[in-house]
Every structure is written in structure tokens, then in C-alpha cells.
Amino acid sequence: MYTFFLGEGGVGKSSALSMLALDWAESTEQHHEHAQNFAFVFLILLKQVSDNKPLAEIILEQHEQLEDQDVTSNEIKSILHGKGGGPVLLLIDGYDEYKKGTNTELDRILKNGLDNCLVALTSRPGPFLNPFISDFDKHVKFTGLSRKNIAKYVKMFFNEEESTVANFLEQANDIEINPLLKVPVILCMACILFNESGQLPRNRTDMCKEIVRICISRSVLKTMGKTYDELVGFVDLDKLLGKLGQLAMVSLIADDTLTIYKVSE
């Protein structure tokens, strides 16, 4: 059986698969009972598949904890073919990031399925899906967070502080970035920014600049032990944002998701 998850980038497809895997890992008879329908669940990131290795070896590579427990590729292969005590759920993420023909076993599974396995696959939309998508039994379209879910997340983030939540939602309804908030990671960033200043960015450009600033802040704090304020004057956000846009444009024109630059560039 196949289930296909379709949606634009950032709307929660990968997170949904990760949550399914986590539900299974933490499941008990009283908690996440649906996860008990499967003897094993494996999450496979197609963007990390770059050669023609057997599927069992790919699973081992992407699940380091299995190698730590001395699980072998032969044992994984047996599980995939129904010798593990029950059905298997294969969560395969990012078909749009996978080049067809890279791995013959995966290509065969994506086309014909695998006995004893339920396959769930995610992808962004694109012409490369036709007629491939028609082979799937079920289709689920991700459109991002609803207004109700946005409000629920904001309440959780700010610990039900009514005035803060109301102020955030009021500003969110009156600015250009409102449509972006349906993307979970951008909503999270918006809450972080609002928590810092009590204000939301007024347009998409400012939102992107602030997201870049947050990412830099967390990166330098983790790798260099410095705060962003200590790097003011060293990082030109406007210039960096322009370079990121240039990189995106070059990749789009080249129709290639992998574009390599030298560090000096």
C-alpha cells in the first residue's frame, strides 16, 4: 500500500514523517495505539541517497543507533521481507530531492512496492511526478497550518499569556508576512522574533533578514561561543541576503539543487 504526501516546501511533510517515526518509537498500548500496527518503522531521507547501495545498508547508515546495537544489513533485509514479526512502515522523505536512477532497489520499491511494507512518500509538486503519482493508493495534500492551528501554536509558545497572544495575532493579521505563517518553521521564527521585540517584521524581506540573523546567532554561539552582537560589523545581513538570493537564482536557472561555490566566493 502506498500513501503519497504532497506539499510545498516547509509546510510540514518531513516533520509529519518524523512524528510518525517518533510515535512508533514511544508507543505503548495506551499511547499512540495506531503505531502498534507496525513491527518496525524506518525513516529514509532520499536527499542522503547518492549511490546504488542495498536498501538495508542505506537504512543502517541513516539509523546509527542500529549499528550501535550491532544490527546487520542481513537482519534489516529479513525484516523488510516479512521475517521480523509483522508489517513494516517505510517513511521515505523527499522524492523531489532524489535523482531517479540513483538507486535501482529504491526505484523498484517506489514503482512496485515491497511485500510486507507500507510505503509513505513525500514530495514537493512538480512535472516529474506525472504519471508516477497515479500509482499511489492514497494522496494527502499538505497546505500548511490553518488559522486555528496558528493560534494554538502561538498560545503554546507564549504559555497562554492572553495579552501577548492577542497582540501577536493582531499584528499577524495586518502585515505582509501573514501568508508565510502557515509554514511551521517561519511561524516558530516569528514567535522568537516577537518574544525579543514585541514586534513582527512588516514585510517578507525584513522577515528573511531576521531569520538569517537568528540562524547566524545560533550558529556562532554554538561554534564560536560568541553572541550575534559581538559580530556586528563583521556580518552584513543585506549583502548576505543578496548572496543567498543569487545562489537560489543560479540553482533555479541551472535546474540543479546542488550548486557548489568556493569558500572565497
Question: What are the sequence ranges of the domains in the chain?
Answer: 2-142, 147-226
- Name the one residue in this structure whose C-alpha cell is 554561539: 221
CA atoms within 13 A on the CB side of 187: 23
pLDDT of residue 154: 95
Q: Are 10 and 184 in contact (CB under 8 A)?
A: yes
Q: What is the DSSP letter of 54?
A: -
Q: How many CB atoms lie within 10 A of CB 36?
A: 14
pLDDT string in tens for the chain (265-residue length): 778 899 988 888 988 898 888 888 887 554 555 656 788 899 999 988 888 888 999 999 898 888 777 888 888 888 888 776 788 999 999 998 888 888 888 888 888 878 888 889 999 988 877 777 777 788 888 888 889 999 999 999 999 889 999 999 999 987 788 888 988 889 999 999 999 899 999 888 888 888 888 887 777 777 777 666 666 556 676 777 788 788 778 777 776 555 555 544 4
Residue 229's pLDDT is 66
* Confidence (pLDDT) at 263: 47
**How far is 155 from 148, CA to CA, in rounded Å?**
11
* Residue 232 DSSP symbol: B
When the candidates are 3.40.50.300, 3.90.226.10, 3.30.300.30, 3.40.50.720, the CATH number that belongs to 2-142 is 3.40.50.300
What's the pTM value of the predicted model, to 2 decimals?
0.72
42, 54, 128, 144, 192 from 100: Cα distances, Å:
21, 15, 10, 27, 39
Q: Indicate if the alpha-carbon torsion angle 40, 45, 46, 50 is positive or negative.
A: negative
The three-state secondary structure class of 51 is coil
> 91: which strand partners?
43, 120
What is the three-class DSSP state of 42?
A: strand
